[in-house]
Structure 1
């Protein structure tokens, strides 16, 4: 029976060439063919491509006319690995595109702002990564999922992760061989801390006494500081320690941490400048105290975080620190119970670093508050722009935005920004526009 659809739209048929107009928020190229919108991974604006169509996607595009911004991918695993999406693009193009993503998100809310120069983390800098582990006949595969696939790609020469994480591959393979099944994939979040690696695994077999003992012995052999198995610590060679701005603490297993130390330092510098001169600061969605603890060297800080284990770690860090002012900490769900304007009234400045969903409810309370400065950190330009509009409508001015790219070669975008009620905001340098 003949296919009723046009040959170019079904059965993986190859149709005429199309030109990529722009990149979407996931980094895929977007083209138009008549009234149809097509998506093609690992393409660039201006390129002419063709290839088999699967619905609205050209999953394996053939580049007929490349553009000057196309470069040879530095990683030998790029074709098979889905961990990166933009290695085929020159660094300058990626930087400009990521800044434009933020500018377009703001424009969609009727906003604009001066852009500070972008900060990009180098290769081999990721200190935290989540590996996929798959047990097989030969032992185990340790890597990342292939593009749009459940297949796990081995990545012995990954250019993204810190060498300490790459060195953990034999240990992770051993973990998969011991605790994985042939039918499932384990997820292992590996974090480089001060004296070694912290590993948190999910999706493995139940850790009975024998398996726990075997895994503990493996950690001792490979120098893994701590192993958590589906949320429970089953092995700890020594107490894991993490230093944030010169203050040391013990993070809970799998706790959120900025992806690179370099990116964290850039964000911290932006937040420190944005809150300069404040005597009392509230840090909303404080996490482990990435900003709260260093800020306490010059101001009193109240840190609010929904995860009680991270709050305890933050408090531990403050109690053991010297040369810091008072830090109070509160475990509170800011989505359900945002700080109200009367609670915010005692603070000169606020720091807010919410998850990808943003913090619209808290932004509305801040918009109704008397807080003079807000240092905003975001990992989602769309939710940031939505919340920024709330603040601007409440009387704040968006003074500047700085994009911080610590997820190199990915479409992920992070940023820091300053909102102020005062007439002249610090750091709003003339001429620093995008």
Structure 2
């Protein structure tokens, strides 16, 4: 009788893989595949904490114990590097965000059979998993789900709403896309809801872009100790601790740099953390609202940040512009920044810190830097999206 095959690793999309290449969802290394295709669970298989796991598309890896989850995050980054022939001089142990720390999310709400379902979508489906618990969202965000379900249930007609939530200094910032609020009574009911829930802001998008409906005081986030306006839908790092881990890496690696170009700077997450006595920062960003928020906050705080409104995909900084800086930090979208990185590789900049939310596009771009004369000095894997296959990283490149 043949021996049961064993799960030996977790693939990039979260499936367990056997030695002969078969894939099994929701398995862990050490699980054994029996003759009938069922799994005999091994010692590294954890009991998923959430009742929705296996259906909800928000998590893919709750079946892994903590050491195996940590190993997955580390291997995603290491494999991306080795796949491009990159050899980091140092890889640090991964940082994993704890449960219930996610401070921003997008949920979906829809009327289904006379009731409101609100939550993430099912895996590989447009169906919504009606959320009754969540082990990744910050408690302040999850606490809004049940009241929001009741509020939406009182709305007339068909309903399909996209729900954006983020934690600001003033509380929960709520954005609703697709909800029609017409007439005085409906508007007053929405404002009463905002008051009862002590929301920082409600923004409605009824087909013409986000419009503020409730904001008793300006909504801000604190970056590098500086309060910065938070435009509706603006990018925030997924968790505070993840942001702190990324910022700590940048501060350590760029200590002593007198001039830093922060590219794809957003609201200024890194710019405000890096600026200081003896350090000036250029913050280049294409999104107008984020750029203006950064510029105004820098002006109020009287710190030497020059905010530049510039689309670095269409108009990347050229080598002669980059050569004015002692260091460059970039944190591009998931697609990476191939053209901008190509110009950095042609520059004389000594140190480059590359923050990435996509190890694959990062590895492609990192290859350009190495080919241009940089060495990959350090890699730090970051798992802000706990129990997800979404992995981030910080990396340091130094001119040889």
Tell me the TM-score normalized by structure 1.
Answer: 0.84
Query: How does 1:300-319 map onto structure 2 within 5 Å?
Result: 300-319=280-299
Give the alignment partner of residue 234 of structure 1, picking from 193, 213, 232.
213
SS at match of 1:151: coil
Deviates more, 1:127-136 or 1:86-95: 127-136
* 2:77 paired residue number: 102
> Deviations 1:131-183 (Å, cap 9, x if unpaired)?
1212346652222222222222233321111110111113422453355853x
Is 1:41 matched up with 2:25?
yes
User: Aligned partners of 1:186, 1:321: CA distance in 2, in Å?
Assistant: 38
Is 1:197 matched up with 2:172?
yes
* 2:376 paired residue number: 398
User: Aligned partners of 2:105, 2:394: CA distance in 1, in Å?
Assistant: 22
C-alpha deviation, 1:216, in angstroms: 2.6
* 2:338 paired residue number: 360
SS at match of 1:158: coil
C-alpha deviation, 1:39, in angstroms: 3.6
Contact 1:220 1:237 in 2 (8 A): no
Is 1:321 matched up with 2:301?
yes
Contact 2:161 2:179 in 1 (8 A): no
User: Aligned partners of 2:115, 2:194: CA distance in 1, in Å?
Assistant: 17
Give the alignment partner of residue 50 of structure 2, picking from 48, 71, 75.
75
Query: How does 1:160-179 map onto structure 2 within 5 Å?
Result: 160-177=136-153
Is 1:410 matched up with 2:394?
no
C-alpha deviation, 1:317, in angstroms: 1.5
Is 1:289 matched up with 2:268?
yes
* 1:388 paired residue number: 366
User: Aligned partners of 1:177, 1:218: CA distance in 2, in Å?
Assistant: 13
User: Aligned partners of 1:173, 1:404: CA distance in 2, in Å?
Assistant: 33
C-alpha distance 180-293 of structure 1, shift in aligned 2 (>3 A): farther
C-alpha deviation, 1:284, in angstroms: 0.4
User: Aligned partners of 2:38, 2:15: CA distance in 1, in Å?
Assistant: 14
SS at match of 1:334: coil
Contact 1:282 1:301 in 2 (8 A): yes
SS at match of 2:120: strand
C-alpha deviation, 1:68, in angstroms: 1.8
C-alpha deviation, 1:51, in angstroms: 10
C-alpha deviation, 1:87, in angstroms: 0.7
Is 1:28 matched up with 2:15?
yes
> Deviations 1:323-370 (Å, cap 9, x if unpaired)?
x3x111112111111110011111101110011111111110000011
* 2:248 paired residue number: 269
* 1:124 paired residue number: 100
C-alpha deviation, 1:196, in angstroms: 0.6
SS at match of 1:145: coil
Q: What stretches of structure 1 of length at least 5 have no aligned partner?
A: 1-15, 53-60, 423-434
User: Aligned partners of 2:23, 2:244: CA distance in 1, in Å?
Assistant: 36
Tell me the TM-score normalized by structure 2.
Answer: 0.91
Q: What stretches of structure 2 of length at least 5 have no aligned partner?
A: none
* 1:208 paired residue number: 182
